[in-house]
Amino acid sequence: MYPAPPAVKTEVFARIPDKFRKRGQLSPERLAAGKGNRDTDCFIEGPSFDKEGNLYLVDIAFGRIFRVRPSGDVDVVAEYDGEPNGLKIHQDGRIFIADHKCGLLLLDPDAGRVTPVVQRYMTETFKGLNDLFIARNGDIYFTDQGQSSMQEPTGRVYRLNATGRLERLIDDIPSPNGIVMNPAEKQLFIAVTRSNTVWRSVLSPEGLLTRVSVFVHMSGGTGPDGMAVDQSGNLIVAHAGAGIVWVFSALGVPILRIDSCAGHMTTNVAYGGADLRNLYITESESGCVLVARMDTPGQPMHSHS
């Protein structure tokens, strides 16, 4: 047994304004797919910062992309017929979206338009994309979750390399969700929501994923969702349904517990601020972005070559 890790408090950084909320308007299809309930008025995930310090968010329930200014003011960048689930900003400024309905997309924030990047693999459509990670060399790793679960472990992980080649890396995952690499980009971590675990795989020199294993086994809540790593190699895991963000050491030991000051649906995390020591957390029940001050800074997003 490990001793209980110290707890860190959060505060609200921003809230989706009432004028952008759509209570009672969730479609029957999205209700059936578990994208919310009849009281859902937005469901934010996918936080990612651009070079100007603006925080982008997705709204999977209503197919919208929000932008939160450093002041906390919120505006709608795009609204389209999709289910954006994850968002990451490339080192060259391009904004990629993992969309549960439409595949991997590219967002033009000025035009408010999304365009497809990849929608199928070997002529087969995806199950339903969830989240993505962009490596320093430009490779994009993304999870294909769909409705996979313990009784149907059919989720997958793909890589779109910088030359445009799409590869399927792992099969048979019971609900792959958040995805991130360690600072050296030699290990890939996958949040496997329905089994309440985080998997780890080692990247071989040839670019293959080997030795897939369980890195952390969690309990309670809904399961691990979005993740990040800090500059010490600690793994930050949003525990959806538990109202907690955990920090695990590079050895998998729980070293910090970050408690939500809002609801229990802590879904995703991103580091920001001038010193990268502010951890921003999407809490999807309340439609708020929370923030916690951390001792160790996160990985810089735009120092890639």
User: According to the model, what pLDDT value does residue 234 have?
Assistant: 98
Cα 203 from Cα 215, distance rounded (Å):
15
User: According to the model, what pLDDT value does residue 304 have?
Assistant: 39
User: According to the model, what pLDDT value does residue 302 have?
Assistant: 46
User: According to the model, what pLDDT value does residue 1 have?
Assistant: 67
Sign for the CA dihedral angle at 303, 45, 177, 148 comes to negative
| Structural contact between residues 96 and 84, judged by C-beta atoms closer than 8 angstroms | no
pTM: 0.96
Report residue 305's pLDDT band, with 50, 70 and 90 as the boundaries: very low
Report residue 243's pLDDT band, with 50, 70 and 90 as the boundaries: very high
pLDDT tens digits along 49-82: 999 999 999 999 999 999 999 999 999 999 999 9
pLDDT tens digits along 80-139: 999 999 999 999 999 999 999 999 999 999 999 999 999 999 999 999 999 999 999 999
Rounded mean pLDDT, 206-230: 94
List the structure tokens of 3: 């001793």
List the structure tokens of 302: 């735009």
- CATH architecture entry for 7-293: 6 Propeller (2.120)
Q: Which of 36-45, 140-149, 166-175 has the lowest mean pLDDT?
A: 36-45
| C-beta neighbour count of 218 within 10 angstroms | 21
Report residue 301's pLDDT band, with 50, 70 and 90 as the boundaries: low
Residue 155: HSE in the Cβ half-sphere, 13 Å Cα cutoff: 31
DSSP letter string, the chain: -PPPPPEE--EEEEE--GGG--TT---HHHHHTTS--TT-S--EEEEEE-TTSPEEEEETTTTEEEEE-TTS-EEEEEE-SS-EEEEEE-TTS-EEEEETTTEEEEEETTTTEEEEEE-EETTEEPS-EEEEEE-TTS-EEEEE-TT-BTTB--EEEEEE-TTS-EEEEEEEESSEEEEEE-TTS-EEEEEEGGGTEEEEEEEPTTS-EEEEEEEEE--SSSEEEEEEEBTT-PEEEEEETTTEEEEE-TTS-EEEEEE-SS-S-EEEEEEESTTS-EEEEEETTTTEEEEEE-SS-B--SS---
In whole angstroms, how far apart are CA 146 and each of 153, 236, 256? 10, 23, 31
